[in-house]
Amino acid sequence: MFLVPDSAHDLAISLYRLARQNGDWSDDRMTETLGVTPEALAAAREELVQLGLVRGTAGERWTVVDPMRAAEQVLQDHGRSVADWSETASRLAADIESMAALLPALRVVVDDDAMNTVLEGNETARAFLAELGDSLQHQLLTAHSGGALPQEAIDAALPQDLAVLERGVEVRTIYLTSAVRSLPTLRYLEQLTEAGAQVRIRDTLPFRMVLADGVTAVCSMKWAEGRSGAVVVRGSAYVQLLTRMFEFCWAEATPMEATIGRPVRTNGPDLDDEQRLMLRLFADGLTDQAIARQLGVAPRTFTRKTRLLFEQLGIESRFQAGVQAVRRGLV
C-alpha cells in the first residue's frame, strides 16, 4: 500500500521504508520499484538527506540511518541555543514523527542491546503508565499531542496525578490549544495547576511523550495496520534527545493562564441574568447571530453588549468567555 504515495512527503516515507527493508540502494532501482520519475525520487531523497535519514551521493548507492540517531546527529551538528532552534526543532520534530512508526522494527535491526519495549494496545500502555507514575521520584515531563480528554480518562487520571504532585514531584505538561477548548479538559488542567503542576499550551506537538525522572521515556505509536500503543525507551542518549525535544516545545509554549485568563475570584463582578446567558451560549459555541436571536436583540446591540461584558470580565475572546462560564458553574 505504501507504494502508492499521495504526496512528495508520502513518497519520502515510502522510499525510506522500502530502503530500510532492502539495505543500501540505488536511484535506478528505487525509481523502478516505486514507479516514479527520477525527479520525484530525487525530491524525496533530498528530504531524507535533509533529515539525516540517508547517506550517500548522487549516482552512488545510498544507506539508510536510524531515525533517532539521525535526529541526535542533526541537533549535535548545529549546536544552537534553544531560542535559535525553536522553529527548526518544530519542523524537524514534525518530519521525524512521520518516520517514528518504524521505530520498533528498527530497534531490532539496528541495536539489539537497546533497552526498549513495545507496548501493544492502549490498555497495555495505560497500565504501564500507571505503574510508572507510582515509581516517580523527581520529575515528570509530558506532551499531549491529542485533542480533548474524555471524561472517563480524566476521572481515571486525576487521582494519580494529584498523588504524584503531593509527593513533591516536579510536573510540567504541554497540551494543544485545541484540547483546552474542551471544558472538561480545561477543568482538569486547572486542578493540576492549583495542585502545583506547570501547564503550557501550544498549537502543535510532534507526538505524545512521557519523560520520567530523566531515565525513561514513553512515546505513543501507531502502526500501519491500525494498531496503536507505545514504545518505552530507557537508553540514556535517547531519553536525553527526547528531553531536549520537550524543552524546545516548552520554550515555545504559552503558560495556560496567559492563554485562557486567570481564574475568577470569589469577589469578581456580579453578572445579571442576560450576561450569564450570554456566557453559557458562548460556551456552547453558538454564533453571534444565533446568540443575538436568542436574546432578541439586533446584531449591533449584541456587539455592544458583548464588548461591555468582555470589559467587565477583563477578557478578550469568545473562548475566554466560555472559560468564564465554566469557572462560574454556568455549564
Return the minimum-mean-pLDDT range out of 16-20, 55-59, 292-296: 55-59
d(CA 330, CA 309): 15
* pLDDT tens digits, one per residue of 117-129: 777 777 788 888 8
Q: Is the pLDDT of residue 139 over 90?
A: yes
Element (H, E) at 233: strand 228-233
Would you state the pLDDT for residue 67? 65
CATH of the domain at 235: 3.30.870.10
Q: Is the pLDDT of residue 72 over 80?
A: no
d(CA 275, CA 281): 10
Q: Is the pLDDT of residue 223 over 80?
A: no
CATH of the domain at 59: 1.10.10.10
The answer to whether residues 195 and 222 belong to one domain is yes
Would you state the pLDDT for residue 143? 93
Q: Which three cell numbers stand for residue 200?
A: 503550557
* pLDDT tens digits, one per residue of 27-42: 777 887 777 888 888 8
Number of structural domains the chain divides into: 3
With beta carbons less than 8 A apart as the criterion, state whether 280 and 274 touch.
no
The answer to whether residues 148 and 280 belong to one domain is no
Query: What is the DSSP code string of 296-325?
Result: T--HHHHHHHHHHHHHHHT--SHHHHHHHH
Alpha carbons within 13 A on the beta-carbon side of 271: 25
CA distances 248 to 50, 84, 158, Å, are: 20, 10, 27
Q: Is residue 148 part of a domain?
A: yes
Mean pLDDT, range 149-174, rounded to an integer: 90
Q: Which three cell numbers stand for residue 119?
A: 507496548
Q: Is residue 108 part of a domain?
A: yes
Q: Helices (DSSP H) in the chain: which residue ranges?
A: 8-22, 27-34, 38-50, 67-78, 82-100, 103-110, 122-135, 151-166, 183-194, 236-252, 256-260, 273-283, 288-295, 299-313, 318-327
Mean pLDDT, range 203-213, rounded to an integer: 88
The answer to whether residues 9 and 48 belong to one domain is yes
Q: Is residue 245 part of a domain?
A: yes
Q: Is residue 254 part of a domain?
A: yes
Q: Is the pLDDT of residue 9 over 70?
A: no
Confidence of residue 93 (pLDDT cuts 50, 70, 90): low
Q: Which three cell numbers stand for residue 171?
A: 510536573
Residue among 207, 203, 199 nearest 229 (CA): 207
Q: Is the pLDDT of residue 152 over 90?
A: no
The answer to whether residues 246 and 277 belong to one domain is no
Return all residues near 62 (Cβ < 8 A) that are at least 6 apart: 19, 24, 25, 26, 27, 45, 54, 55, 56
d(CA 8, CA 22): 21
Confidence of residue 267 (pLDDT cuts 50, 70, 90): very low
Average pLDDT across the chain, whole number: 75
* Domain span at 121: 103-260
The answer to whether residues 40 and 118 belong to one domain is no
The answer to whether residues 256 and 108 belong to one domain is yes
Confidence of residue 8 (pLDDT cuts 50, 70, 90): low
With beta carbons less than 8 A apart as the criterion, state whether 246 and 277 touch.
no
The answer to whether residues 178 and 249 belong to one domain is yes
Return the minimum-mean-pLDDT range out of 16-25, 196-205, 230-239: 16-25
Q: Is residue 70 part of a domain?
A: no
Would you state the pLDDT for residue 109? 38
CA distances 213 to 160, 208, 222, 238, Å, are: 17, 17, 25, 14
Q: Is the pLDDT of residue 77 over 70?
A: no
Would you state the pLDDT for residue 264? 42
150 DSSP 8-state letter: P
User: Quick one: 183 exposed, middle or buried, by C-beta within 10 A (0-12, 13-18, 19+)?
Assistant: middle
With beta carbons less than 8 A apart as the criterion, state whether 67 and 100 touch.
yes
Would you state the pLDDT for residue 329? 63
Q: Is the pLDDT of residue 155 over 50?
A: yes
